[in-house]
Chains A and B, each alone.
Chain A
Amino acid sequence: MAEETLEKRRGFLVGSIAAMMGTISAALGLPALGYLLVPGREKKKSDWIEAADLSKLMVNQPEQIIFNRVRRDGWKLVTEKAAAWVVKTGEQQVVAFSPVCTHLGCAVSWNSGDKTFACPCHTSSFSPDGKVIAGPAPRPLDRFDVRVDGIKVMLGDVKKSAEG
């Protein structure tokens, strides 16, 4: 009998030790997960940036534009150089591709010989409308939001292209 109550008491002690330690670990661990995994509250859209002059673009002739943009990087506002391949597709129509290859992120450039965007890293190539022609790239080139305002070509955020 005494043996049994002793055993019970021991079970209670061990159980409560585990429960208390578990509670503390959860109280520390769950916030830590949120802290490390949830992205920052503010999702700032980039401002429209005047990047090119429509009258100077030739139809279906991709032009590399380098511009400065301000981006919020964590706790910092950074001004950085960004590039876009801008293609005039009609009188008032412009598309702008991100130069970042959708495979592993090398910079693509326009090959005026065979009229493709070519990636130097693993030989992906893209058609003038951004579609994958060859190589390991899994999806078309990403596009900037574009707004044409008179002769001003304004660029916004980069939108991820759909798979395939």
Chain B
Amino acid sequence: MINSVLDCVEDRTGAVSGVKHFLYEDIPASSGWHQVLGSVAMFCFLVQVVTGILLALNYAPTPPDAHASLRFILTELTSGRLIRGLHHWGASMMIVVVGMHLLQTFLWGAYKKPREATWMLGVILLLLTLGFGLTGYLLPWDNRAYWGTVVTTQITAKAPIAGPYILRLMGSEDGNIGVQTFARFYGAHVLLLPPLMMMLIGLHVFLVRKHGVAPAPVETEPKKKFFPGQVFKDTVAIFIMFSILFALATMVRVPLGKIADPTDTTYIPRPEWYFLFLFQLLKFFEGPLEIIGSMVLPGVAVGLLFATPFIDRGAAIKLRQRTFAIGIVLFAGIGWASLTFAAMRSTPHKEPYQSFTAEEVAAVGSFRQGQCWQCHGVTPGDMKAGPNLADIAVHEERDALVAHFQKNAGNRGLKDLQFRQLATFMRKLDDESVVAIASTPINVVSGAQLYMKNNCGVCHSINSAGGKSGPPLNGVAKRRDRTWLEGHFGDPQKFSPGSMMPAYKFERADMDSMLAYMETLKD
């Protein structure tokens, strides 16, 4: 039965002998585990295609809906988080695997004649992979995406002569990013790059086939077949890669932050980890030299990669004798790792609550005082009787929420005003701010509650919310020391003559909380 179907297909299309031809190709006896990486890379791409299509089926590719629709995918749809996680981590995974594939080929010298073209195509595929990462980074349209892309466009804008044109090509007018840039990035990400990638992968594989898998310098044993031995090894490697990817996607949450806000100048942009080393490199070159870090060095590096087969034209030798190649890899690896490490260390860290208004920090206090945590988890996977706030978006109207609070936490000493503020806060929760409910230190929360109770916000502002008659409090701890602040609370006029601030005599514990809160306020 099966045979007759196969025969029938074979007679009409030749597909069966085609597949057989593919599977039973002769490969050198030395082939083995070190050559699985190409297949794994290709499989990574396949995962990206599948998850990418799935995401696109529920995604509105234009701001600001892009953000809303991704939020919908994450908070409303079954497996939405998983699929987004797979796509996000899959991108990183693909970079890693492609990088390893390149390293292996380089170390073994598999780029040598007649495989120069295969190698150069591979370098182009690496660049395309990075292009996917670059264009995809903008698509969530949260602050991270927005500011990360602003930096990228600014860097390219500095290119001599071509700068303004590249900027135009990216749909940006004098460095601003808007719907046009978004459309171009999205178009490139889903319409331009994928078919290009597929064609070039096809060509790359064709060339691998044409020249055969690179043999060891001396092959003594007769050739073997690709199937099933090598296919098995490839599949095991793919399976391991996929298991790691799946674990990452389920266990490490990729937060979707606040919607992109071009006016939020306090946001610290940071590119994806695989671009961090470039980011760091830039810091070594200032002013007119900047171009060395942004264009010249990366350009030279890519040029050298392309030219590798022509620089090293010697006959194939054993891996152990390729000391120079090993040296280059070690040198590049150490350089890359230390740049990346330095970049990670030098990025200032901001706790989520540090961008909150006082009202929002105080709302965290209300959440705790109202013991809302008895029913609602606030970290992923924390299963309790009520919905987990880390997994959902709160859509309920404010009044409905207040009614819910009064019913369930009415007897825990909270005022109606606090309930209303908590309701407002709940409706604004996102993946990043929800973290603050559990992580904001107790004394900071008490400080903010005290701040609210004494109506400090009538005159002062924190994170741009509040009155204007007193000085804004962000960075106050940098301007004044602790003793000054403490004394100033008790007798403002003594410390700043002419001040119209009334004196506040706080008890010791309250004073400590207040000061602790003031100290967390960053510029």
The chain A residues found within 8 Å of chain B, CB to CB, are: 10, 13-14, 16-17, 20-21, 23-24, 27-28, 31-32, 34-36, 38, 40-42, 44, 72, 74-76
B231 beta carbon closer than 8 Å to chain A:
yes
Tell me which of B110-118, B232-240, B431-439 binds A. B232-240
The chain B residues found within 8 Å of chain A, CB to CB, are: 47, 50-51, 54, 57-58, 60, 65, 68-69, 71-72, 75-80, 82-83, 86, 228-229, 231-232, 235-236, 238-239, 242, 246, 392, 395
Chain A residues within an 8 Å CB radius of B238: 20, 24
A16 to B246, CA, bound (A): 20
Given A76-B65, A76-B68, A35 contacting B79 (CB threshold 8 A): yes
Chain A residues within an 8 Å CB radius of B246: 27
Q: Is the interface of B mostly helix, strand, loop or mixed?
A: helix
- Give me 24 A-to-B residue pairs in the complex whose CB atoms sit less than 8 angstroms apart, sorted by A's number: A13-B229, A14-B228, A17-B235, A20-B235, A20-B238, A20-B239, A28-B47, A28-B86, A31-B83, A32-B50, A32-B54, A34-B78, A34-B79, A35-B58, A35-B77, A36-B54, A36-B57, A40-B72, A40-B76, A74-B72, A75-B65, A75-B71, A75-B72, A75-B76
Task: Name the one of B77, B232, B239, B395 contacting A23, with C-beta atoms under 8 angstroms.
Answer: B239
Are B79 and A75 closer than 8 Å at their CB atoms? no
A40 to B72, CA, bound (A): 8
Are A17 and B232 closer than 8 Å at their CB atoms? yes
Are A10 and B228 closer than 8 Å at their CB atoms? yes
Name which residue of chain A comes closest to B72, CB basis: A75
Given A13-B228, A14-B228, A17-B232, A28 contacting B76 (CB threshold 8 A): no
CB distance from A60 to the nearest CB of B (A): 37
Q: Lowest 10 A-B CB distances belong to which pairs?
A: A75-B72, A31-B79, A34-B78, A40-B76, A13-B228, A38-B78, A75-B68, A20-B239, A13-B232, A75-B69
Chain A residues within an 8 Å CB radius of B239: 20, 23-24
Task: Name the one of A17, A28, A34, A38 contacting B50, with C-beta atoms under 8 angstroms.
Answer: A28
Known: A14-B228, A35-B79, A74-B72. 20 other contacts (CB 8 A): A13-B231, A16-B235, A17-B232, A17-B235, A23-B239, A24-B238, A24-B239, A27-B242, A28-B50, A31-B82, A31-B83, A32-B79, A32-B83, A35-B58, A36-B54, A36-B57, A40-B76, A42-B76, A42-B392, A75-B76
Chain A residues within an 8 Å CB radius of B83: 31-32, 35
Chain B residues within an 8 Å CB radius of A28: 47, 50-51, 86
A46 to B335, CA, bound (A): 59
A76 to B78, CA, bound (A): 18
Chain B residues within an 8 Å CB radius of A44: 395
Are B60 and A75 closer than 8 Å at their CB atoms? yes
Chain B residues within an 8 Å CB radius of A27: 242, 246
A16 to B228, CA, bound (A): 10
Given A24-B239, A27-B246, A31-B82, A38 contacting B232 (CB threshold 8 A): no
Chain B residues within an 8 Å CB radius of A21: 235
Given A14-B228, A17-B231, A28-B50, A38 contacting B65 (CB threshold 8 A): no
Are A35 and B65 closer than 8 Å at their CB atoms? no
Are A20 and B228 closer than 8 Å at their CB atoms? no
Chain A residues within an 8 Å CB radius of B58: 35, 74
CB distance from A66 to the nearest CB of B (A): 24
Chain B residues within an 8 Å CB radius of A40: 72, 76-77
A94 to B77, CA, bound (A): 38
A16 to B236, CA, bound (A): 9
CB distance from A72 to the nearest CB of B (A): 7
Which of B78, B79, B395 has most chain A Cβ within 10 Å?
Answer: B78
